[in-house]
Amino acid sequence: MWILIADGLLQALSSVGYSAQGFADDFSALVAGRNLSTVCEVMQVALKRIERWRIDHGLLVNPDKTEIVLFMRKRILTGMKPILFFVKELTRTDQVKHLGIILDSKLTWKENLQYNSKKAVALFWQCRRIVGKTWGITPKIAHWIYTTIIRPMLTHGAVVWWPRVELRVARTLLSSLQRLAGLSIFGAIRTIPTVAMEVLTYLLPLDIHIKLVAMSTCYRIKSNTSWKHTYDPNSHTHVVDQMHKVAPVTNMEGDRMKACFSFEKQYNV
């Protein structure tokens, strides 16, 4: 029932040209443009539409939980206007967490990677309490915990933020995280090389694994004809170009068809 109600808000915004998305009770509206003052005015109109939709449906919206982020690479802001939501001015933030991914204003994905790494390390040390050199779970179970629980949590949304792993500082952070997992699996001395543990446990370096997850997600979305490619070299969408280089077969045409249901019989029995 909630999906039917929430879909009405998305349609109300999309019908007038706004880019609106929603998942459960989380909604986002995107306005893009070159003139900042115009962008602020257009966003204010969008919020007015949301207010009217809320009144028509008898729902409550908490403006304190509403965040606004300005995505731009310029350091000096000119033309920024206050944006009101239910007679309350929204405070601009430098980052926002949406569907488990932290979006920073510069789209560097630094905060997202650090947040996920800290979360993975905390979970790792919780699991580490049941592992010892001469007692605890077997190396096979420790390997399973890492590859099934910890690593998928770290790679959540990798198709969006994967360009971050091309930086050396990010690769160093990921290598140290996987080293903790390797020591837990082996129970070896701390001077063992990380590369040796990765080879013996058949673990790809995390930066390569993140790209693998990003390409797999890209191919799945592309097969559904839902992938939107941009020609910005700094965009995450050029993962499709790298995918075609390493796996040329992914550039071939497929025979996937969208499911189409027809509940009205076109014949008589």
Q: What is the pLDDT of residue 214?
A: 93
Position 9, amino acid: L
Cα–Cα distance measured from residue 24 to residue 242, given in angstroms and rounded to the nearest whole number: 33
pLDDT in tens, 143-167: 888 899 899 999 999 999 999 999 9
Q: Give the pLDDT confidence score for residue 170 in this predicted structure.
A: 93
Total-model pTM? 0.80
- Beta strand 19-23 with 101-104: parallel, antiparallel or unpaired? unpaired
pLDDT value for 133: 64
Spatial distance between the Cα atoms of 250 and 4, rounded to a whole number of angstroms: 36
pLDDT value at position 158? 93
Q: What pLDDT does residue 172 have?
A: 93
What confidence score (pLDDT) does residue 132 get? 65
Q: How far apart are CA 139 and CA 135, in angstroms?
A: 11
Mean pLDDT of the chain: 85
- Condensed to tens digits (0 to 9), the pLDDT of residues 205-244 reads 999 999 999 999 999 988 888 888 887 777 888 888 889 8
10-residue block means of pLDDT along the chain (269 residues)? Answer: 83 84 84 87 89 85 84 80 86 87 90 91 80 73 88 92 92 91 80 87 91 93 84 82 88 77 79
Q: Is-contact 183 190, C-beta < 8 A?
A: yes
Question: Can you name the residues that pair with 21 across neighbouring β-strands?
Answer: 28
